[in-house]
Structure 1
Amino acid sequence: MDHFTNRLRRRKNIRKVAERLFISQPTLTYRLQQIEKEFNIKILIRRGFRLKSV
């Protein structure tokens, strides 16, 4: 999880992070949502295409 969130904090763009991780954007989005749901936390605040770390 730290690997994803560290990259997202730096890049603030899910598509670019997904490309760097060699996975699709929907896969990364789905995994982040699953983590948020599983641990009942918010990792990111999504505002359109912009992201903000919590």
Structure 2
Amino acid sequence: MKKKFITTQDIPTATLLSKQGYQQVQNSNGIYVFLNAEKFRFSNDIDITKIQYSNMLTF
């Protein structure tokens, strides 16, 4: 099952996701939520241990 959102609590990771074109849809309580678009791929700069995939928008 494809997860619709990517979440992180790490500010540098959130910044890198934004720079790579991921659309931020929420920033609440230190949790950054981005749309998980299939057309984008992570660069080697993203530490995948600092992200999570989810289908929930509200945290």
- Tell me if TM exceeds 0.5: no
Q: Greater RCO between the two (CA within 8 Å, min separation 6)?
A: 2
Structure with more helix by fraction: 1
Using structure 2 for the length normalisation, give the TM-score.
0.28
Using structure 1 for the length normalisation, give the TM-score.
0.29
